[in-house]
Structure 1
């Protein structure tokens, strides 16, 4: 009898723990969706030039006058400039006011941008609104940082990759609305969507890491309790708090030593470690932490290589590109299909990051993207096959890029830096990414005029090959690992190269 009662109690406790775990996952997923919604609204307005470019340059423009050639170039690239200017400031404010406040401000900029477009037909106002929407592009810094800090390690990769899925879904929405609605109606719909994005952020709470960095351990524990759907004094929350404390207390002075050498050195007491950390400024921390320096180099190279694989050009200039490459097919239909492909395989890429790992995904997808670029470039250059082959090659390129270059760098950057420097380092990577976006969009049209559309994709193929080779030699696998272990991987790879 007593044995049966004990079994029943044990089974009840297990069921409660399982239900709490599932509810915690649900809360993390819903919060991630609310945060990633910002990326969707960014995708809508960043892709908006694709379906309005011809209207704004025509004599029958909806604006007070047609845009000049320079204004059209700015129309496609001002959003990147806006993101370039706002990202450093956002990186600073993330540790001052918190992740939640920053994401609310970034969402409000989208509302302001669409309100300006709805209220005026002046070319200058529209260009200013596009710049304002780019200011909200700092969401690409905030969202992956927030999601990586609230989600547990088993789903961290998939949730962080959700940012790019929602961005691709925003592209799809922009293409569909541009094809179905007249200009003013589309603007009002997009304005309403942006307002909804601000409202959704009410379900998000501040991240535990921010509270811990501010010395608010009690608030950090409450944040963990909310996102894990557990009691503040539960085992789950205590384990998460201990893991966060370990991340805040790395032995940065001994980065260059092996584990065996570290055992021979006398350990510092906890109070001594704390005092030493407090004396270190940000740049001194980076100077003393070799693993941090190694991580930022790998992250910057990986992000640069992935962006210059070239899909961002295809996305922003989708309709005119399809019109030139596949003249016997509707460019709007082709653009919508491109966005659908990107969304569908974005989900697959997010799933695979936690199943097969980040490293194999970027290596093999980059090789496949290289093959697609060679086929596409030769077809555009030599016209050796029917036009439908061009469309298929573009879609295959989008698939292979989305699985690797469009997913892995953002997940990788969000999980490799120590808490002391995470905001600053992530800001540097995202700022560099926006600069690369601006450069590739700005030089694309002149480059096509100089060497032709086909040879441009040969260049993209070369970058894809470089990405794969670099990842083989320098990219560590970070799947399911805490940040302190990930930092150690950079040192292990360096020591292995020495011998």
Structure 2
């Protein structure tokens, strides 16, 4: 026994990220539950829209079913903003398991459209908790060397969950699919229960010894004194700020972080990614030619998952900004090609029967390039850009903002497709990519290799640099 204790002590002194990975993987089981709910319309809407569906559903109903989790997320985000600094990031995550389980059971046994609406709303409530609490948790437990990798895991897991629901939903009916998926929330609850809470949260609650123990566990070393002192000092300085919602807009560094995060999330969604995910099976049905829509959809999500995985490893090596720039340019070109094909096939007399492979290739090309940067990094920034004092408010508003944007874009896609054809939304998404490129070039900073404290210093320093430049400009003009 004494020998085992010595071995453990030696391992702890060497340091390891194994517990950071373990906490991330188990937490991502909660994200998978939300992702499967989020991607549920892709395999299920075609069944519900059929004349023989057990629940009569119109195209308008389908668009509301697709976007209902984004509406429900508002309530979850607001609740989490209030609770996350009171009961902790970990406990907020654990609260999602009963909600996701209830939502799946309601989907399985629903007999009316309104029961599906309620189930989707509850799932959205869980998403609000997850996407407010988990980015905070990951950003606060991760060493700066692997924060990009761990922070990218959220989007990676979202894609994995949507791939799983498309595979299951393609081969099982709606009830069986929901019952299979209902296994995940209880498994997540049991496994994540044993993970350590954020050291930052424990410091905020005055539990310094617990924070030390959790940090030792997460870093797998006894020597955490300097990092703990840095965290204590950072929390102390940030708590000197008032910690109010208005601080997001009245403090210059917070305002800049808000513009960057909200802007990137808007660009991400106006680039078409979530809407294309919602309607992936329908798009492939219209575009895939000889490829079955089910096969093409599984290929779509598998490729998306692979590219997001590659991005999660590249983000700490190449940096955030280069990947964002390459991603937004390539995405705009692929969307333009997609829109051009659909425009020529519907609005002209040109024979495009020999070009049926073009929309599939363009869409898969979009998946590759989008998920190398724009698909992953905006979510990563959620856990990086805000100080502890306002992080709960910021992520709450960011999740509400995301829900609003997705709902607007989803309704836009459905309305434009029904009224003017599928080409119009693709051209609109391509134009938004061009606007996004300018935004990234001008406003988005590089956070690779920086601690959370370093990022805050840079955000504050940017404002100081602007003041110095303005003062120098005034001096030159006066001279």
TM over 0.5: yes
What is the deviation of 1:18?
A: 8.1
Q: Name the counterpart of 2:177.
A: 186
Correspondence for 1:222 among 200, 207, 213: 213
Name the CA shift for 1:185/1:424 in 2 (closer, same or farther; >3 Å).
same
How do residues 30-429 of structure 1 correspond to structure 2 at under 5 angstroms?
Answer: 30-61=22-53, 63=54, 65-138=55-128, 139-231=130-222, 234=223, 237-250=224-237, 277=240, 280-283=242-245, 285-286=247-248, 289-383=251-345, 386-429=355-398
For residues 182 and 197 of structure 1, the distance between their equivalents in structure 2, rounded to whole angstroms, comes to 24
Is the Cα contact below 8 Å between 2:155 and 2:308 reproduced in 1? yes
RMSD: 2.2
Name the CA shift for 1:19/1:372 in 2 (closer, same or farther; >3 Å).
farther
The 3-state SS of whatever aligns with 1:203 is coil
The 3-state SS of whatever aligns with 1:420 is helix
Q: Name the counterpart of 1:267.
A: none
Gaps of 5+ in 2: 1-5, 346-351, 474-479
The 3-state SS of whatever aligns with 1:121 is coil
For residues 202 and 492 of structure 1, the distance between their equivalents in structure 2, rounded to whole angstroms, comes to 40
For residues 101 and 282 of structure 1, the distance between their equivalents in structure 2, rounded to whole angstroms, comes to 23
What is the deviation of 1:249?
A: 4.1
- TM-score normalised by L of structure 2: 0.89
For residues 19 and 382 of structure 2, the distance between their equivalents in structure 1, rounded to whole angstroms, comes to 23
Deviation track 1:151-176 (CA, whole Å, cap 9, x = no partner) reads: 11110111111011111011111111
Name the CA shift for 1:286/1:386 in 2 (closer, same or farther; >3 Å).
closer
- Alignment coverage as a number of residue pairs: 454
What is the deviation of 1:78?
A: 1.0
What is the deviation of 1:333?
A: 0.6
For residues 443 and 11 of structure 2, the distance between their equivalents in structure 1, rounded to whole angstroms, comes to 40
Name the CA shift for 1:70/1:456 in 2 (closer, same or farther; >3 Å).
closer
Name the CA shift for 1:434/1:284 in 2 (closer, same or farther; >3 Å).
closer
For residues 311 and 254 of structure 2, the distance between their equivalents in structure 1, rounded to whole angstroms, comes to 27
What is the deviation of 1:227?
A: 0.9
For residues 396 and 147 of structure 1, the distance between their equivalents in structure 2, rounded to whole angstroms, comes to 30
Is the Cα contact below 8 Å between 1:34 and 1:203 reproduced in 2? no
Correspondence for 1:440 among 388, 398, 409: 409
The 3-state SS of whatever aligns with 2:291 is coil
Is the Cα contact below 8 Å between 1:291 and 1:491 reproduced in 2? yes
Residue 21 (1) aligns with residue 12 (2) = no
Deviation track 1:240-293 (CA, whole Å, cap 9, x = no partner) reads: 21221232244x8xxxxxxxxxxxxxxxxxxxxx8xx27x35257556632111
For residues 47 and 368 of structure 1, the distance between their equivalents in structure 2, rounded to whole angstroms, comes to 24
Deviation track 1:297-333 (CA, whole Å, cap 9, x = no partner) reads: 1211111111110011111111111111224321111
For residues 454 and 340 of structure 1, the distance between their equivalents in structure 2, rounded to whole angstroms, comes to 25
For residues 51 and 245 of structure 2, the distance between their equivalents in structure 1, rounded to whole angstroms, comes to 54
Name the CA shift for 1:182/1:69 in 2 (closer, same or farther; >3 Å).
closer
For residues 120 and 440 of structure 2, the distance between their equivalents in structure 1, rounded to whole angstroms, comes to 35
For residues 249 and 123 of structure 2, the distance between their equivalents in structure 1, rounded to whole angstroms, comes to 36
Q: Name the counterpart of 1:465.
A: 434
What is the deviation of 1:83?
A: 0.9
What is the deviation of 1:59?
A: 3.2
Q: Name the counterpart of 1:261.
A: none
The 3-state SS of whatever aligns with 1:405 is coil
Is the Cα contact below 8 Å between 2:131 and 2:399 reproduced in 1? yes
Is the Cα contact below 8 Å between 2:77 and 2:132 reproduced in 1? yes
Is the Cα contact below 8 Å between 1:116 and 1:125 reproduced in 2? yes
What is the deviation of 1:193?
A: 2.2
Q: Name the counterpart of 2:3.
A: none
Deviation track 1:86-108 (CA, whole Å, cap 9, x = no partner) reads: 21111221111111111011122
Is the Cα contact below 8 Å between 1:103 and 1:143 reproduced in 2? yes
What is the deviation of 1:122?
A: 3.1
Deviation track 1:50-76 (CA, whole Å, cap 9, x = no partner) reads: 112122233322x3x412444323211
Is the Cα contact below 8 Å between 2:109 and 2:175 reproduced in 1? no
Deviation track 1:120-177 (CA, whole Å, cap 9, x = no partner) reads: 4333222211111111112122222111111111101111110111110111111111
Q: Which runs of 4+ in 1 moved over 6 A?
A: none
